[in-house]
Chains A and B, each alone.
Chain A
Amino acid sequence: MSEKLGKIADGLLHGKIDEVGELTQELINDGMDPEEILQKGLFAGMDVVGKKFRDCEMFIPEVLRSAKAMHAAMEKLRPVLSEESSSKAGTVIMVTVQGDLHDIGKNLAGMMMEGAGFNVIDMGIDRKTEDIVEMVKKEKPQILGLSALLTTTMPKMGEVINALKEAGIRDQVKVIVGGAPVTDDFAQEIGADAYAPNASIGTEKALELVKG
C-alpha cells in the first residue's frame, strides 16, 4: 500500500489527474487510514510541488495541473475524512466584489488553494455584499477570500467585513483580501485577517489561519 502512496506523491508532481484520483480511491478501498493518505501521499506530494515552485523548477501551468490532481484526490477523500482532518483542508469561498470584473488573480489563488487541499467555492465576479454574506451563512467556510482590482471597488471589501459583523458571523470566518491596488495597510484598516499579494502567499496565509 505504501508503494501506492509514493505513486500518489509522484503523480501529483507530474500532474497525473486521473491516476492520482484512482490511486486515492484504491487506497480508500484497501482500507488505509484517510489521514495517512492525506499526510503521506497528498500533502507529501504537494510539499515537493511547493518547493519546486519556489525554486523555479516548476511553473504555474505545472503547479496548476498538480493542484487539479490534488482536487481529484480530495473529492474522493473528503467524505471519509474525520472532522478534524477535514477542517485542516477546509472550505474557502473565493469572490470578486461588486462592480469588479477582474477574476484571473482570484481564480489562480483559488486553484492554488485547491492544491493545498481546500474545498474552494467560487462565487465568480461582481457579487453583491448581501450575496456574499448569505453564502458565508450557508456554506460556513473557514476562509473567505475577497478580490478587488480597482481602487473604485476596494471599499466593497470593507463593506463585506462590516456586513459580516452586522450579521454576527464575523468571528466564524477568516477573511483574506487580495488584488493589485490592495495593500497590507488597507487590509488592516478594513479589519481583514490577512493580505495576500499573490496566490502562493494567499495559500500560505489560508493554511496558517486554519491552523489557528
Chain B
Amino acid sequence: MPKINQTIQTTPSFRVLSENQIEMIYSAALDVIQSTGARFHHEEALELFKNSEAVVTDGNLVRVPLSLVEKAIKCHPRKINLTGRTGKYKIKLEKDVVNFGTGSDLPFTYDRETGERRRTNYNDVVNAARIVDFLPNLDFFMSHGIVQDVPNPQVYDRHQFMAMLKGCTKPMVLTCVDGDGLKDLWKMASLFRGGEKEYRLEPLFVTYIEPISPLKNDKTAVEKLLFSAEKGIPCMYTPCPSSGATAPATMAGMLVQSLSETMMASVLTYLKNPGMPLIMGGVTTVLDMITTTYSYGAPELSLASAANTDISKWLGLPMFSTGGCTDSKVLDEQAAIESATSNFYAYLSGASLVHDVGYIDSGVNASLESLVMNDEIIGMIRQMGKGINTEDEYLALELIDKIGPGGEYLTSEHTLTHYKNWFQPRLQDRSDYETWVREGQKTMNDRIREETDRILKEHQPEPIDDKIQKELEQIIDAAEKRHSK
C-alpha cells in the first residue's frame, strides 16, 4: 500500500543563504541604488535615466527609486534557451539546471610542443573549441584564449568568434570590444538562423558585459547593454569585484554591492526596452593580500558565488557562476584541488552557467589539458548530484531476500541493469599495482595529455556551410575595412 505524507528528496539539496538572508541582501541593494547610486559614462543612458523617475546629479551619478528598480527586475524572462550553430546542442538556462563551460580571453597559452608559455593565437582558440565540442561534460563554450594574431586588435572579437564557430557546435558566451563589435557578432550568429526575428527564437550566444566595481558603468559596457536590450540579445552583467579592494571585505557586503550593480543594469535596459533576457553573475572573489592576485582558486570565490546563485534563484534570473579554475601556474595537484572543489560547489548551488573551467594562472593562462581534466571532474560531480532513488526496485528488498546471507550479487540481473548507472571514469586509474606497472606507470597527467592529443587528432566538428562561411567572412572584412580608416 502506498504511503501518504511522504517527502522524497530525489537529489541532494543545498543552499548557502536562507530566504531571510536573501531578503536582507536584496533590501540593502535597493538602499544602495536609491541612496548611493551608480555612475554611468554614456550619454544615451543618462538621458534615459533623466527622462524616468531616476535622479541624475553630479553629471553622471544616477539614483533610482526602489519602485522603479522593483518594476524593472520583474521584467526579465525566467529562462533562456540557447542553441548551438547546428542545432544539435541545446541548453536551458533556468533555475537548478547546471551547464558547465570555459572562460574567455586568456592572453597566454602553454605551447603543447615546446612547453613554453607564449601568446595565444587563432589556432589555439580553434583547438580549444574542438576539445569543448568533443567533451561530453562541457555544455557551452567561451573562447578560452584570446586571438592575438589578427591585423587589427580592435576587431579581434569577430575573428575570435569565427575561430570558435569553426571548432565548436555548442552554445556560446561571447566577449566583445564594444557595441559595434556586438552588432557584428549578433549579425554573424543570425546567419545560422536565417534572420533577426528567427534568431531571437533560437539565440546561439549570451553577451558577456561587466560593470566596473564599485558602481561604475563605462561607455562600452553601456553600449553593449543598450544594444542587447534593443535586440533582445541574452546578456549577462557580471560584476568582477575583488573583495577588499573594489568591494567590501565581507562576503555579504560584496554581494550587496554586486546585486546593486546588476539591478542598475536591469533598470537601464528596462528604460530602453523592457524584457531583455538578463543573466545575473559575478566573479565574486578576493584579492590575495600577499600576492595581490585576483584569486581564481579561493574558497571565498565559491562561497560567494553559491550565495549569489541563491539570490539569483530567488529573483528568478539565470546565474553565471565560476568553477574549474585555479591560481596554479601548471596543471598540478593545486589545480586539481581548486578545480574540483569549485566545480562541486557551483554544481550544488544550481547555477545556470558555470564558466572559467580550464583557467590556470589566475585567469591569465590557457590549458587544453585542464579542460580534459575538468571534464572528468564534472562527470563525477554530476554523478554525486543524482541522489538516491528509494522506490521498491531500488530498495531491492526482494533481491536481498533472494540472494540471502552469504550469497553473491555479481551474476544477478539486478546488478546487470543497475551498475550501468554508475560513473565510469575515462581517465582515472583504478587498476591493481602490477597492471599499472605493466601499462607504463602512467600518471593522471600522462593520461590527460594522451587524451588531449587523441581528441585533437581525431575530433572534427561538423563544418560550416560554404555559403554561411562566405557571409561570415564578409562581415569580418567589412569590420576590418571600417577600422582601418
Give complex CA distance A61, B249 in Å. 11
Q: Is B291 an interface residue (CB 8 A)?
A: yes
Which residue on B lies nearest to A186, using beta carbons?
Answer: B119
Q: Of residues A59, A155, A181, A199, which shows the largest number of chain B Cβ atoms within 10 Å of its Cβ?
A: A181
Write the A33-75 contact mask toward B (1 if CB under 8 angstroms, else 0).
Answer: 0000000000000000000000010011100000000000000
Q: Give the segment of B66-74, B91-99, B148-156 that binds chain A.
A: B148-156
Q: Do the beta carbons of A60 and B287 come within 8 Å of each other?
A: yes
- Are B289 and A152 closer than 8 Å at their CB atoms? no
Task: Choose among B119, B218, B246, B290 the residue that contacts A151 (Cβ–Cβ < 8 A).
Answer: B119
A101 at the binding interface (Cβ < 8 Å): yes
Tell whether, in the assembled complex, residue A151 and residue B245 are in contact, meaning their CB atoms are under 8 Å apart. no
How far, in whole Å, are A5 and B119 apart by their CA atoms in the complex? 50
Residues of A in contact with B (beta carbons under 8 Å apart): 56, 59-61, 101, 104-105, 108, 151-152, 155, 180-181, 198-199
Cα(A190)–Cα(B462), bound, Å: 43
Q: What's the least CB distance linking B397 to chain A, in Å?
A: 59
Cβ B212 vs Cβ A181 within 8 A? no
Inter-chain contact A108/B292, CB cutoff 8 Å: yes
In the bound complex, residues from chain A placing their C-beta under 8 Å from that of B154 are: 152
- How far does the Cβ of A62 sit from chain B's closest Cβ, in whole Å? 9
**Chain B residues, CB < 8 A from A152:** 153-154, 156, 177
Residues of chain A with a CB closer than 8 A to B341's CB: none
Q: Does B319 contact A (CB under 8 A)?
A: no
Residues of A within 8 A of B289 (CB): 59-61
Bound complex: CA A179 to CA B421 (Å):
48
Size class of the B contact interface (CB-based, 8 Å)? 20 to 34
Q: In the complex, what distance in Å separates the CA atom of A152 from the CA atom of B108?
A: 13
Whole-angstrom distance between the Cβ of A36 and the nearest chain B Cβ:
33
Which residues of A are found within 8 Å of B292, using beta-carbon distances?
A: 60, 105, 108, 198-199
Residue B294 is within 8 A (CB to CB) of chain A in the complex = yes
- CB of B379 within 8 Å of the partner chain: no
- The complex places the Cα of A56 from the Cα of B107 at a distance, in Å, of 30
B146–A104 CB distance below 8 A? no
Q: List 6 A-B contacts (CB under 8 A).
A: A60-B290, A60-B292, A61-B244, A101-B212, A101-B218, A198-B292
Q: Which residue of chain B is the closest to A155 with respect to CB atoms?
A: B153
Task: Give chain A nearest CB distance to B295 CB in angstroms.
Answer: 13
- Whether B153 and A104, one on each chain, are in contact in the complex, defined by CB atoms closer than 8 angstroms, is no
Query: Main SS of chain B's interface residues?
Result: loop
A151-B153, A152-B154 given. 20 additional CB < 8 A pairs? A59-B289, A60-B289, A60-B290, A60-B292, A101-B218, A104-B242, A104-B294, A108-B292, A151-B107, A151-B119, A151-B146, A151-B148, A152-B156, A155-B153, A180-B107, A180-B364, A181-B107, A181-B108, A198-B292, A199-B292
CA distance A198 to B287 in the complex (A): 13
Q: Using a CB–CB distance below 8 Å, which chain B residues touch chain A?
A: 107-108, 119, 146, 148, 153-154, 156, 177, 212, 218, 242, 244-246, 287, 289-292, 294, 364
> With a CB–CB cut-off of 8 A, which chain B residues contact A59?
289-290
Question: What residues of chain B lie closer than 8 Å to A199, measured between beta carbons?
Answer: 292
Neighbouring A residues of B108 by C-beta, 8 Å: 181
Residues of B within 8 A of A155 (CB): 153
In the assembled complex, which residues on chain A have CB atoms less than 8 Å from the CB atom of B294?
104
Residues in A neighbouring B156, C-beta threshold 8 A: 152
Distance in Å: Cβ of B320 to nearest Cβ of chain A: 20
**Distance, CA A101 to CA B289, complexed state (A):** 22
Cα–Cα distance between A108 and B242 once the two chains are bound (Å): 13
- Chain B residues, Cβ within 8 Å of A56: 290
Given A151-B119, A151-B146, A155-B153 in contact, is the A104-B287 Cβ separation under 8 Å? yes
Chain A proximity of B223: nearest CB distance (Å): 13
With a cutoff of 8 Å between Cβ atoms, the chain A residues found around residue B291 in the complex are 198
Chain B minimum-CB-distance residue to A200: B292
Complex CA gap A60/B119 in Å reads: 30
Residues of A within 8 A of B153 (CB): 151-152, 155
Q: A101 vs B242: C-alpha distance in the bound complex, in angstroms?
A: 15
CB closest chain-A residue, reference B152: A152
In-complex Cβ contact of A181 among B218, B244, B364 (8 A): B364
In whole angstroms, what is the CA distance A199 to B291 when docked? 9
**Cα distance A199–B245 in the bound complex, in angstroms:** 14
The distance from the CB of A54 to the nearest CB of chain B, in whole angstroms, is: 10
Q: How far is the CA of A152 from the CA of B152 in the complex (A)?
A: 9
CA distance A152 to B176 in the complex (A): 12
Most chain B CB atoms below 10 A, which of A105, A152, A155: A152
**Complex-state Cα separation, A63 to B289, whole angstroms:** 10
- Shortest C-beta distance, B258 to chain A (Å), equals 16
Which of the listed residues B107, B242, B245 has the most CB atoms from chain A within 10 Å of its own CB? Answer: B107
Contact indicator A104/B218 (Cβ below 8 Å): no
Q: Can you name the residue of chain B whose Cβ is closest to the Cβ of A59?
A: B289
- Shortest CB-to-CB span from A108 to chain B, Å, is 6
Bound complex: CA A60 to CA B244 (Å): 10
